Structure formats: C-alpha cells, structure tokens
Chains A and B, each alone.
Chain A
C-alpha cells in the first residue's frame, strides 16, 4: 500500500475530525448553561460560588476563547467538569466506557460470525425453505426496535422464567472471590443486553452478506471452481465467502456509528452503566462538558473505525489503491 494513500486518507479524516469537533462545541453550547441550571435546582447555592465555578471552567470568557480552550483541552484529554456527576468528565467516562466497549465489541464479534455464516449459507441455498424462513425472519428482526426486543427478552427471561437479572452490570455490593466468579457474574448480567444487540445485528448484516455472496456466486471464477470439481464447501468458503467478505469490512466499520444507537436504547432498558445512557443523561441535564466529552469519544471511535475500514479495504482489494 502506498504511503501517500494512507497520508491522504488520514489528512481528509483529520479535517472532518476538526469540523466535527467544532460542530460538537457549538451544539453543546446551544443546550444552555450547566451552572445556571445548578442554581435552578438548588437556590441555596450562592451566586458567587457559581460565578467562581464559571470562571474556573472558563465560561466567563468570550465564545471565541472558549473555543480555543476547547480545542486545546481536547488534545490534552481534558474534558472539563460534569455538573451532574460532580466529577471531572474524564473520570466519569473512564468508569462508563469499558462497559459499553465490552457490550459493543462482544456483540460485533458474535454477530459478525453469525451473519457471515448465515448469509453465506442462505445465499448458497437460495430459494430453499431454510433461505426463505431465515431471510424473512431477518427482515422482521431488523424491523424491531432495539428497546422492544430488550423488553420482550426481559419479560420472558427475567420475569416469567427468572433466569437472568433485571438490571445492572454486576451484582451490587458483592466482592468477587476470584476472577472466574467475576466473569461469571459479568456474563450473567450481560446475557440479555448482548442477546438483544446480537440478534438485531445478525438480522441486519446477514442480509448484506447474503446479497454480497449472491453477487460473487454469479462470477465466472465460481463456475470455474465448480467445473474443476471442487467440493461444494470448498467453493463456498475458499472462493465465494472470501470475496464477499470485502463489502462486509466496510459495513462492519460503519456499524460502530449505528451501534451507538443500539447501545443507548439497550442500556436504557437494562439500566446498564455505559456511555450510551451517559450521552442521553448529559443532553437531558444540559451537562455540556460531559456531552462534549461523550460525543468526542464516540466520534473518535467512529472515525478510527472508518479509517481502519478504508485501509483494510485498500489492503484487501488492490483495485481501490489504483484509483
């Protein structure tokens, strides 16, 4: 891969990143003054204390200087102070981010494997009864809202058959005696949220994989492979799936952005202590340092995922590099 290609992609991404940061800055300012709301909530707080807080976090400066401060602090990893949590934003995000990353990466891995296998198989057996049932089911599943799927799972597996817990990420107040116990508790709590995310994503991406495989199956080299007398399984996995994985790479990276939506809704239903729920709370409480920080983190994740996808795609498909 040529270095100039990587450099060009990174530069273009960096410009987008700066623009996104500016958009976040101005959108966050528009939600209102977090410290003014502090007085509204508790009138006993003296005005002078609020003024001091505003000065401490630079809100008394003109907007343009606030913007300069903002850009500087973003590069230093300082995100300001959360009025709602009464903690630096960095600490709040640090507590919440691992939970969301755990949910998202685990569900992306499981659902990608599931979607690739199911998509390839249904394409291979297109028109069969299995294909018909699976594709229609997938269409239905991708049309169900995340939160409802979560509620139904909760209804069945936490109320009628109380196998899994109702909320949270770990049993509160329990000291885990060993790592094994900890992982057991973690998975037990994550089972329903993970199932919600995985089921819905398999529904979405199985159909992509299916149509990508169908496209490849129509190519000449598949006919050649078949004519050579290769076993069906070999034709499918060695020749077809390898090539149909290409579009899936892009889709998997783009999913990161969509996954944030899933995370917000799923975390809301299961009261999971992640960043998805955090963004929602930050907006509702106009806690704008927190909002900036959370938006910043998610946007950076999405951008990095896009860059990786671009580079991976160029690495896997030589045709892209030439153009």
Chain B
C-alpha cells in the first residue's frame, strides 16, 4: 500500500514526537509509578481466571470467614471468596472505565470540533446544551438516566456516564478549535478547495489530539469513580460484580452487623482500596502525559 506523501510526513512527525514524549515519560518517576500500578491491575483483569482461586459467583465456604490461608480476604455473607471477587471485579471496573472514557472522549471531541469550527447557530445550540448538563448536578442526573434506560445493565452505566461527562472536554476542544481555525494553514487549505470535514479531520484534529489523549486518562479516572458511585447506590449490573457493587452489598446486606454485630473489615476495606489505588495510578499517568503535552508545565 502506498501512502500519500502528506501522511508519510505526518507519521514521521508523530513518531518523533512520540519518541521525545516517551523520553520525558520514562524519566518521570511519578508517571512510571502510575503506569506500573495501572499495568498490574490490567494484568490482573485480563488473567483473572488464572489468578483467582475460586469462582466469585459461587458459594465456596462458610459465611463471613475472616482472612485465612485458604481465603486470603475471607468470605462474604453468602460464602463467596472475597479475593476472587476482587480480581474479577477489576475486569468490570476497568472495562466500564475504559469504554466510558472512549465514549466521552469521542463525543466531547466531535461536539467541540463542530461547535468551534462552524460557530454561529450550531455553536450557540450545542453550548446551551453543554450549559444545561453542567448545571444539573451530575450524580443525580446519572442516576436518573440510568433508571430511565433500565437499571441492571452493563452498557446503561456507560451511556449514563457518557451523557453527563462530555461537556467539559467539549468546551476545551471548542476553545482550541476557535483559535486553530484562524491560523494560516487552515486558510491555505480552504483556498485550495478543501471541504470543511476534510479541514476538521486533517488539519484541526491532529492539533487537538495530544490534549484529548491526555485528558482521556482523566476521563477514565472520572468514569471509574462514577461507576463505583452508581454501583454503590445499587444501579449496577448484578451479573457483573464490580468493586463498587461489592461495597453496595457490604453496605446493604450487613457487612456491618451480620457477623454477630461485628463489622467485617476484610469485606469493606479491599474494594475501596483497589478503586483508590487504581484511580491514583491513572492520575499519575495523566499528570505525566500533561507534562509532555503542555511544555509550559515542565518548568515546575
């Protein structure tokens, strides 16, 4: 396959940028720590069936056993192994985070590009919608959307998160597009007869992309937190137990009192710790990426 020269040049520039970016990233201790944390959890999620000692959806032992060599983190109120639940839970939490982040980023970028590039009436309408979503409190709106679209389904959470989280990124992309479209190279492209979609995809998008990628990591972190909150409130998919849902069960079915009035710390502490650690990892990666994308920050 023969690529046009323009694309060859573009790939060469991207490759160089990527290499210099990698250089900065590798020398950023916090970023590497974050990447390590994220990788460990990703490996855990992918190889869950090989790591988990038990089936997390089956009763394997007595109720509410404290941690032992047989059950590293004890069992829950219906005799399921909590360590196995935790490992399988990584799959659900990570997948929701990943998919929701992809959706949010795509929707936000497309709306931001269109709104910024066309301006006028289109811009006015899109930004009004943006305002509305920003003013309505996020979590209640998510709960409302999730309950409208039907609770207990995996994709509903992703949809609810996407519909409520796009405005931030859309605003950002819009403001960048506004300044980019006034640049000489856009005018030149228009002069030789390039169509609007062509200019948006080939001339503006590549310039917005680095920022979009670094914000995608933050979006994933936000999406995971949102998923955890919604699942905690009981809006998750019962056939796909996530970390948030483990806490939901611990809260509602008596992780506190069921054990003869004594709380089961081994049921409450680990899921939240996993969420917090993974999200921290994502934030560290996000910060390192921001340093690469925004050289102004590097001085600090």
Binding site for B on A (CB under 8 A): 15-16, 19-20, 23-24, 27, 30-31, 126, 139-140, 142-149, 151-152, 155, 159, 214, 218, 257-258, 260-261, 264-265, 268-269, 279-280, 283-284, 286, 291, 294-295, 298-299, 302-303, 306
Contacts and interface: CB of A to CB of B under 8 A. Distances in A.
B276 A144 contact: yes
Closest 3 pairs (CB-CB, A-B): A148-B272, A143-B279, A261-B139
Nearest to A147: B232
A16 B128 contact: yes
Contacts of B225: 143, 145
A303 to B, nearest CB: 6
Contacts of A269: 251
A184 B126 CA distance: 50
Given A148-B272, A302-B137, A306-B135, 4 more contacts: A23-B132, A139-B280, A143-B221, A260-B139
Interface stretch (B15-23, B182-190, B263-271): B263-271
B143 interface: yes
Nearest to A257: B137
A260 B142 CA distance: 12
A299 B137 contact: yes
A19 B131 contact: yes
Given A159-B263, A283-B143, A27 B135 contact: no
A197 to B, nearest CB: 14
Contacts of B283: 139, 142-143
B36 interface: no
Nearest to A21: B132
Pick from A15, A149, A299 the residue with the most CB of B within 10 Å.
A299
Category for how many chain B residues contact A: 35 or more
B136 A20 contact: yes
Pick from B132, B251, B275 the residue with the most CB of A within 10 Å.
B132
Contact of B251 (A151, A286, A295): A151
Contacts of A303: 135
A71 to B, nearest CB: 16
A140 B140 CA distance: 25
A280 B140 CA distance: 7
Contacts of A143: 221, 225, 275-277, 279-280, 283
B289 to A, nearest CB: 15
A258 B138 CA distance: 7
B252 to A, nearest CB: 10
B256 interface: yes
Contacts of B229: 145-147, 261, 265
A264 B140 contact: yes
A159 B256 contact: yes
Contacts of A294: 140
B233 interface: yes
12 contacts: A16-B132, A16-B135, A23-B136, A24-B136, A143-B280, A144-B275, A144-B279, A148-B247, A257-B134, A260-B140, A280-B140, A306-B135
A146 B244 CA distance: 11
Interface string B221-242: 1000100110011000000000
Contacts of B262: 159
A152 B137 contact: no
A173 B140 CA distance: 32
A260 B139 CA distance: 8
B191 interface: no
B140 A298 contact: yes
B263 A20 contact: no
